[in-house]
Copies of this chain bind each other. A is one copy, B any other.
């Protein structure tokens, strides 16, 4: 790298910046994690694997609405994603259609000429809940977060096949082949993602989709075009769809023949074992207390989600004591269809103590979520309500913290001191807290714990803040100086995003002073 001297002009600054930035990627930085795609930030996810990417939505990152935003949506890839060159021109993406009266390719541009529709559907990894099995099956130990509900826009498979004269008469399956990058030197049949579902299902409600929650389907979620098999486990919803075929038999690939089968522990998979198709009824509680912090006693509203592939949800019960006593929860918000999830809530009062919040859903055919789910070799399909319970500690001791605005539990009932001019010209003061430090330091502390998305505390530990984040460096150990903190806030570093948009100069100063206090 060239040396740079006396960057006193604007142009020099630009050049300086240019060189520094361009040089960075080639510098050995040690542990610098790559940015996550599509606006996802690490604070919202548990990262099980980098390549292929496996991101689980953190339980406390689910909101109260029925749609999971892309920025919060889990990722499970079987193989590394295709290179972006392959998706450079989305409308030119071509799906080969086979097993019909005629065969050929159809571009996304031409798919958009067929009747369009939008459906809401849950995607859930077959291994969601694997963490709850005692026998420690191999694979990512997903707990509840390998699932999300989105709006998908595309065309019906039936309309696509009709463009080619319809499926051959002897066809029984719809087989989709993905566009994953295949490792060299390995028989593609053993690794390639190619899945078959019953043709009747394919013609009934399956779609080729190019839009997710109103955005062009991101590469990481299978864009430009993926197969949507509403109500079926994720693996069937083939990403980067390259071939769509009406076939006599199921794919001969391993992922179909022996993979993704519900089989006894210790047994090899084969076609006699049930394939991971329709998702049975399932539900879980997402709040309060999903961040692992104690919550104060008093009134709380319990929130969760419930779904049942192809069937929809009839009702949900909630128990505060791990299943001894049940109460009917309220289903709220729109019913987005039989393959979407329903949001539910329950108003309750919690005294000091330990609680196991569990939910038990019943689908519209009357099938009820079981208490337990049998162990199986790969840890698939867990929908037992007991293991999905959320343990919550309710304690008076959290109240003092909450008063200082330091609780993440959503029950901080007193506000920070603030004076606001109302529209009518009147001025009022909200209830006053009793800050422990100077106002500036108190602001710094509040900013550290709450101000930004994600907050500093989400990723970093810092004793002065009572913060215990484990994603980023421990700040008491790293002891960054003011300049380093300012740089990181201004431009991000490694996995840490830039906070330039979120913080004023004043706020940056308060944060810097708070983090460096006493040094």
Contacts and interface: CB of A to CB of B under 8 A. Distances in A.
Contacts of A89: 405, 412, 415-416, 446, 449-451
A192 interface: yes
A355 to B, nearest CB: 17
A3 B67 CA distance: 51
Contact of A333 (B18, B153, B414, B415): B153
Given A118-B66, A507-B84, A21 B491 contact: yes
A61 to B, nearest CB: 10
Contacts of A371: none
A92 B405 contact: yes
B115 A422 contact: no
B93 A415 contact: yes
Given A64-B116, A414-B92, A486-B22, A423 B178 contact: yes
Contact of A39 (B39, B65, B421, B507): B39
B418 A86 contact: yes
Given A5-B3, A443-B85, A177 B343 contact: no
Interface residues of A, number: 136
A116 B345 contact: yes
Given A3-B7, A116-B301, A301-B112, A490 B21 contact: yes
Interface string A144-160: 00000001010000000
Nearest to A85: B507
A18 to B, nearest CB: 3
B29 A20 contact: no
8 contacts: A4-B16, A17-B20, A22-B490, A35-B501, A116-B345, A192-B423, A194-B423, A334-B336
9 pairs of A and B residues whose beta carbons are closest in the complex: A192-B423, A118-B333, A18-B487, A194-B423, A177-B423, A188-B425, A88-B451, A92-B415, A65-B153
